[in-house]
Structure formats: C-alpha cells, structure tokens
Structure 1
Amino acid sequence: MVSSMFMRAIVQFLSLQLLFIRYTLSVRPIEVKGSEFINSASKDRFHIVGVAYQPGGSSGYDGKSGNDPLSDSSVCLRDAALMQRLGINAIRVYNVNPSANHDMCASIFNAVGIYMIVDVNSPLDGESLSRVDPNSTYTADYLNRIFGVVEAFKGYPNTLGFFGGNEVINDMSNIKIIPPYIRAVTRDLKQYIAKHSTRPIPVGYSAADVRPILFSTWEYFQCAIDGDANDPTRSDFFGLNSYSWCGSDATFQSSTYADLVQRFSNTSNPVFFSEYGCNKQSPRPFNEVQALYGPDMTGVFSGGLVYEYSEEPSNYGLVNINSDGSVRLLQDYDNLQQQYNKLNITLLTSGDPGDAAVTPPKCDASLIDSPDFYSKFDIPDIPSGGQQLIDNGVKNPNQGKLIPVTDTKVTQKVEGSNGLVINGLAIQPLPDDQSNTPSGKNTSGEATGTSTAGNPKSTKKGAGSRDELTWIMLGTFVGSALVWGL
C-alpha cells in the first residue's frame, strides 16, 4: 500500500501538469506555403487580423534597463484581454531587447491565441542597417544582436515570424545600395534559424508604400537566385505599410487597393499590410477592413496589422494608456471591433493550400522596372565573425520558453469609450489549440460597469483538446491508483 503522503505528492504533481497543459497549449506554429500562411496542424489558411503593438512608442524600448513591450506581464495581460475582446490574432512588436525575459508575456498571448511578428532591429546605434552606408553597419556585432532576438523568441510556438527590415528602402536616394544587404540579412537569419531552431520560422521584409519603387522592391525580394526556390536570401513574406485608404468616402478603386491586388496577384510569397489605418479622418471608420478581408482581396492578401494599439504622439491609437497603467478605449477601438465583427471567418480559413504553391520567379534584372533601383543579385558575403555565430550560436543566449499562466484577471482600471468602467475584464485561455478571432458580437457599447470580455470565437487548430488531455491524464492517474490500491 502506498502511503497517503506519497499519494498527495502525486496528486500535487498531476495538478501542476494539468495546470501547465491548460494554459500553455493554445496555438500551433504558422508555416509559409507558396503565397499563403498555413496552420501547421489543421492546414487551414491563416489571415493576419492584427495590430502594431509598441506601448510608449520608441521610448517603450530601453536597451539599458532591459525594458521592452513584452517584459511586463501585468501590462501584457491587460492588453491581451483587450485584444482578445477585439478579435486580434496577431501583434507586431517593433523593438525588443534580446536579453529581457519575455516568457510570461509570450505565454499570455499564446494562451489567448495571439501570434507575434517580431522586428529584429531597433533604432539604437548598431542595432539596424544604415540606409546611407549599409556596409559600415553590417557587422558581426549587428548579427549578434539580431541572432539574439531569434534565440529569445524561437522557443515560442506563437512566434509567427521575424521582420529582417522595416522601411529600410524608403526613398529614391537609397535604392542603389541597400537592396542586396537586406537579402544578406535575410539569408543570415534564415541560416541561423535552420541551425539553431527546432522548427522553421519565416523571415520577411516590411516595405514603405512608395509606389515608384514598391513593386521593384517586392520583385527583388521575392525572386529566387538561379531559380532555386530554397534560396536563403529570398524573403519568406512581404509586408506593406500602406495608408492609401483614407476616410469614409474611400473605395476599393480610389484607395488604389484594386491596383495593389492586380500588381501582387502573381506573388509567390504571402503579402499583407504590415501597417494600415489612415487617420486623416478621426475617429477612423476602418471601412477598409471589409475590403481587406473580403472576396476581392483574400485571394492575394493575407490580412494586415492596424497601426497601432496605443495612442502615441502620432494619434493612431485604439486605446489611451494613462501614466498609472489604466486604460480608456477610444472610439477607434469600437469602430474597428464593429468592422471585425462583420467578417466571414470561414472565408479567411477556407481554400486548398495546394493552390498557394507558387513557384518564385528567377531573379533577373528584367523584373526591376524602377530606374536606378539596384538590379544585380550579387549578395554581400557574411562579415568577419558572422559565420562563426551561425555555426556555434551566440554566447549565453537568452532562450525563451512558455510557462504556466496562472493569473487571468486584469488588475488595472479599464474604461470603455463612454467612460464607464469595465469590471471583471480577464483573458480567456482558449481550448483546442485555437487562435483568436472576432466574436461576431457587437460589444463596442457594453462598457457599462460589467464584464465585457465577451465570448471570443476561435479557429480550431489541434486534433486533441486540452479537456481531452486533462481527462486522459486523470484517467491514467485513477487507473494507476486502482492498480496500486491507493
């Protein structure tokens, strides 16, 4: 007969394991297949319904203190609850500290089915490529920084991908020198991931919407050198920061969205808006959401990220964050939620992934139609010391991992756009390895002093639910107890 003390120890251990399962199995990694993002388990298409997330703007990242947008778990819990209520399934984080601990924040977003797209660069010296002299900044120290970001985020299943550059090509003055260096950084990141990650993680580029050079930029990064579809210098996805749809009177045609769809129609990698949401009209109506996620665009575009979550000096926020950590929703939040709730979620996940298997074009100068744009594909060699980093990895890497999420209730005061306090706001960890989607309910006017966390819908991603796993483990324990005579 096993002692009661031993039985209590087993029960405690099993309880911890069940807790870990309940709050850490939310998403399956996203893969790239041709021109689509694909869920690695269900093989459904994945469209980004996302938001740019950089509370505090560029000052929200401090390389000296170690702070960044994903280092404060109470802030992440608050914002994850509001994003889950909104219907978000992805965030873009621009500036992260590779040495900071992101485990709890990443686990919180994972628990509610929200993916992360992480920029590897930052505005600080030595942490990005120079637009005017890229060779001077393309160094082993720079690679050590961006590889450190990979180490910090590669262990989270909800890391959707990395941006190797953001608007590095932004005007006519740097199109003659920058392009091959961006491909070099893409190559280095992908080779590091292949060597040191247990799964492939896509690497892409986020482009400025400068029409004279936009499509040459896309062609330059999507093509395959020598026709090799596995060319590591080729971008896995292409993001576009576009603000061409402005106001209630804009249309699919007048916004030039129709032109974007036509020009990107033969893309061989996923294309999406890495930023959108013109604020010339305030509050923003967000009527472009119906076009972006409707039948006119979903065959070409893979969704987008609204700019941006928090109100900063540029006035693009969905929420206003006060100095004491309290939050008030803005009318933009309500308007976006109303637009999201109209979406046909089935349209965003349906389709044959085989249709996305597009062969990339072979790199050739004829693809480039912008005068003076760099049209050679002689990619710079890795700088001295860089190959050793790829072969051996960065020293003392900060490797993130999922951890149990035990706190679900938001502690900060949150008000609706009508000024009424939202009580009982909490994250709702999703079962069945699901990703978050809009609820389909109009909750924008429900900030009435009661909980408006809503009942977010989700997209099924796994074959076995967490409830099933719980019963399997419990059944195993009970069966063993009977055998042992406990």
Structure 2
Amino acid sequence: MMLSYFTALGLLAGAALAVNPVVMKGADFVDSTTNNRVMVIGVDYQPGGQSGYDPGSGVDPLSNGTVCLRDAALMQDLGLNTIRVYNVDPDLNHDQCASIFNEVGIYMIVDVNSPLGGESIDRSNPSGSYTASYLNRTFAVVEAFKGYPNTMAFFAGNEIINDVPTSKANPPYIRAVQRDLKNYIAKHSSRSIPVGYSAADVREVLQDTWAYLQCAIDGNDKDVSRSDFFGLNSYSWCGDQATFQSAGYDALVSMFSATTIPVFFSEYGCNTPSPRVFNEVQALYGPQMTTLSGGLVYEFTQETSNFGLINVNDNGTASLLVDYDNLQSQMSKLNVTLLQSSNASQTQAQPPACSSGVVSSSQFGANFTLPSTPSGAQDLINNGLSNPQQGKVVQVSSTQVPMSVYATNGSQIEGLAIKPLQGNQANTPNQAGTSGGSASNTPAPKHSGATGLASHMPGVFLVGLFSCIIVLVL
C-alpha cells in the first residue's frame, strides 16, 4: 500500500530527537553541549495526586502515552521546559511519556520516594526507615529513568525536615541517601545525573538546611553526600498585591546569595486568593532574582487541594482553568533567553567546609558523621540491580492529541498537538506555539501535527524521506 504524505510525516515525528542533558556548574544548571545556563521553567506533575499512587494498578503519571501527549502539548504552549514527578512506579514502562516530553524539549526531575511505607525516609523514624529495601527502591527509579536524556535530576528527599524537631536527627540521613544514589549512578549510569533535595519553606530551619546540604565534608568538593542542587517549596507570594519585599523574596535572594549549588523553587504558586494571577513569575525570572534558577508551579492537574491548571473530567476530556490562562499570560511576557543564553561562569565558588559553624542554630543537627550504607544496599551499589526496568527513548508515532480539551470559555480546542523541536533544544516561552487556552471567545487552533512538523524539517531531509518512500512503493 502506498504511504500517504501524512504517514510519511508521522514517520518523521518518530525520529528520536533529544534535548541536551543538563549538568551542574557552580550555582547553575547548564546545558552540557552549549554551556548555556538552564533556567527551570516548569510545573509539578502528579495526575491523581499523591493518593492516586498505586503501584499495583499498572499506572503512574508517566505510563500513559496518550495522556502525556495531551499534557505535553498544553505544557509546550505554556512555554515550560521542566516537570517534576513525585511518585513513579519503577517497574512500569515510561518510554512513550518520557520520549514525548523529550521531543518537545521538556526535562523531567523525578522523586525517588513515594508516600507508601518503606518507600521513603520516615521523618519521625529516619534510622528505622533507612534500609536496604528502601534503597533498592530508589536505585530502581534510577534504573528506570537514567536512559532518558531529558531526565534532568533526581530528588532524594522532600521535606524530610519540616520543623525544628525534625532538623535534629534527620539531616545526616538526607546526605546518606544522596551519597548512596550518587554512588549508584556513578557505577551504573553512562552519564552523571544530579541529585538534590526539596525543602519546606520553614524559615526557622531553611538557611541551616541549605548550608548543611551544600557544604563539603572534610573540605572535599567531590564529596558525594552533598546536594547537587537545592529546591524550595515556597508559597509566600499570595495575590496580586504581593511584592518582592512583602513576599520575602528579597530575604531569599539574600539568604542564597552565596550559594555554590543551584537553588530553585521546587513548588510555588500560593492559591489564596484564587484564581491565581502568577505575577510572581515576573519577579522569579527578573533581574532581582538571578541568584535562583527558576521554579516549578504547583501543580498541573486539579486535585482536592485546588492548585490545578487543568481539570481532568470524568469522561476523559480535560478543561483548562483560569489559572492556566493567567500563567500563560505571565509566561508570554518573559525573555528568559537573556538569562539562559549567557555561558555559565568558568569561575566556580568552592563549597564551604562542613563544620558546626556552617549552621546558625544549636538545635539543628549538624552531624557530619553519616550513617553507613546498609550492607545489602552496598552490594546493590557494587553489582547493580537484577533485571531492572530500564527506560530508553522510543519512536513517538503521533503528534495529534486524540481526546477533547476545552478552553476556559467552554469551546473545544481544535488541532491540539505537540510540536517536535529540532536541534536538541529545550522548550521556552519563546518556542511556545499559538495558545489554544486563550481566554478569548474563539480559541486559536494549535499547530497541526503535519504543519508543525514539516516546518521544522530541513528540505533536503524531506526529499530524502520521500525518495525512500518511492523506493518502498516500487
């Protein structure tokens, strides 16, 4: 049977385009090929919420390619370049979703923990939960995601310190897990993948947590237990009357001004009052906050906590919320190219040596004698997991979103599709397509899969492809 023009374009869409992996250089995320700074422009992504995580169901946020295609198209139009995924099942196949996000220039930061017992460090019992079985789970997540070039980083922990009492015994266990993960990655991954921590915005312990995690034990800047980056879950900017000063952003810039590792908001977007106007976006990516490396809006899908950008309806369709429109409006005003196009500094500050003096509070557990890796886990680090699920980039066979998505005015968005990017580039607000989520009365059609793809392919490549098609037909 003769291959049609659109089938040919579908084959083109399947070409394994890839973003350049991200590395660390001092206080910046850096494109490993261009050496340009990478700002995190992203969203937290956990459809179904934490309570929806069920490893027996065969489903997690990155297991359904059709859903990921829809969400990647909407994220691409927002201009996003990063998602954070909290709870994944390392035994599932994530190839389609990871490859879809890869083709539209969106990185993934993946948490290695889950809310289930035995799959995270219990902040109320760190020593009892730091086991070989637990580490086996974290290594399985590494195995599942290490093969994707758009796996940007792993979170080793989330809010394990969330008040003064938990700052006493818990800090060494955060560093121990980071050490074990980085040792496993060094032994079993073809590239280095950064590992860091996501902190609660509890000002009584925030600075000490950052200082404790960025310092180098014995002054060794190769110390694998130190964080490669530091995420902050911050909800201090609330409403359109908030300012850089009233939200305390000035204090955060001052706090992190001497950072030797990237710092970014791993969650942001206060939802009181609602809907959110997201005017903090202009501050976060503006000249006053170049110390930080961007942030992740909480969160993509509407859950019980009412932070969503889109609502997934019971019949499988989806509806954009006003928060989506408002965020898109703010993103469209950004010129992050100025922040990202400059080469990262060749002069990198040395991390401070770890000592009790790096923290300001005597109540903080500044203990730098870390717990030893459990013996069973050390065997896994040395020898690797037995027959783990290992992800790889695969062909993306379709660019067109098959399910219905509705704009905030109720009109169905026509032609919603992803637009594969050329040249290993990450998505930015400047790359975003025409908005289908506009609050205007007539939503503008998205680029179609055929038109968007053809516009990104060199003519000589198209000629070569069609020559091959003629041969096949003959």
* Alignment equivalent of 1:113, drawn from 97, 105, 108: 105
Where does residue 346 of structure 1 map in the other structure?
A: 337
Where does residue 67 of structure 1 map in the other structure?
A: 59
Equivalent pair of 1:38/1:44 in contact (CA under 8 Å): yes
Q: Distance in 1 between matches of 2:457 and 2:322?
A: 36
* Alignment equivalent of 1:160, drawn from 143, 148, 152: 152
Equivalent pair of 1:156/1:401 in contact (CA under 8 Å): yes
Where does residue 448 of structure 1 map in the other structure?
A: 442
Structure 1 residue 158 displacement after superposition: 0.3
Q: Distance in 2 between matches of 1:475 and 1:445?
A: 40
- How many residue pairs end up in the alignment? 460
* Alignment equivalent of 2:26, drawn from 19, 34, 40: 34
Structure 2 counterparts to residues 331-342 of structure 1, below 5 A = 331-342=322-333
Structure 2 counterparts to residues 119-198 of structure 1, below 5 A = 119-198=111-190
Distance 1:382 1:454, change over 3 A: same
Distance 1:133 1:472, change over 3 A: farther
Q: Distance in 2 between matches of 1:153 and 1:108?
A: 14
Where does residue 320 of structure 1 map in the other structure?
A: 311
Equivalent pair of 2:10/2:397 in contact (CA under 8 Å): no
Where does residue 376 of structure 1 map in the other structure?
A: 367
Where does residue 16 of structure 2 map in the other structure?
A: 24
Structure 2 counterparts to residues 83-482 of structure 1, below 5 A = 83-298=75-290, 300-354=291-345, 357-439=348-430, 443=435, 444-446=438-440, 448=442, 451-453=445-447, 467=458, 470=461
C-alpha distance after superposition, 1:167-201 (max 9, x if no partner): 01011221111100010000000000000000000
**What's the secondary structure of 2:169's corresponding residue?**
coil
User: What TM-score do you get using the length of structure 1 for normalisation?
Assistant: 0.89
Structure 1 residue 24 displacement after superposition: 1.8
Q: Distance in 1 between matches of 2:193 and 2:72?
A: 23
Q: Distance in 2 between matches of 1:152 and 1:438?
A: 29
Code of the residue aligned with 2:89 in structure 1: it is N
Matched, 1:43 2:12: no
Q: Distance in 2 between matches of 1:83 and 1:454?
A: 16
Structure 1 residue 18 displacement after superposition: 10
Code of the residue aligned with 1:88 in structure 2: it is L
Q: Distance in 2 between matches of 1:17 and 1:98?
A: 33
Distance 1:107 1:468, change over 3 A: farther
Q: Distance in 1 between matches of 2:9 and 2:66?
A: 24
Distance 1:383 1:82, change over 3 A: same
Structure 1 residue 105 displacement after superposition: 0.3
Q: Distance in 2 between matches of 1:96 and 1:71?
A: 9
Structure 1 residue 466 displacement after superposition: 6.5
Where does residue 4 of structure 1 map in the other structure?
A: none
Moved more, 444-453 or 201-210: 444-453
Unaligned runs of 5+ in 1: 1-7, 456-464
Equivalent pair of 1:60/1:69 in contact (CA under 8 Å): no
Code of the residue aligned with 1:382 in structure 2: it is T
Q: Distance in 2 between matches of 1:382 and 1:394?
A: 16
Q: Distance in 1 between matches of 2:273 and 2:299?
A: 15
Aligned residues with identical type, % of pairs? 57
Distance 1:342 1:322, change over 3 A: same
Where does residue 452 of structure 2 map in the other structure?
A: none
Equivalent pair of 2:70/2:401 in contact (CA under 8 Å): yes
Distance 1:442 1:101, change over 3 A: closer
Q: Distance in 2 between matches of 1:182 and 1:331?
A: 38
Distance 1:85 1:198, change over 3 A: same
CA RMSD of aligned residues (A): 2.6
**What's the secondary structure of 1:142's corresponding residue?**
helix
Q: Distance in 2 between matches of 1:152 and 1:375?
A: 33
Q: Distance in 1 between matches of 2:347 and 2:278?
A: 28
Equivalent pair of 1:20/1:404 in contact (CA under 8 Å): no
Distance 1:471 1:411, change over 3 A: closer
Distance 1:356 1:73, change over 3 A: farther
Distance 1:325 1:18, change over 3 A: closer
User: What TM-score do you get using the length of structure 2 for normalisation?
Assistant: 0.92
Q: Distance in 1 between matches of 2:398 and 2:462?
A: 23
Code of the residue aligned with 1:265 in structure 2: it is S
Equivalent pair of 1:35/1:356 in contact (CA under 8 Å): no
Q: Distance in 1 between matches of 2:433 and 2:8?
A: 35
Structure 1 residue 216 displacement after superposition: 0.2
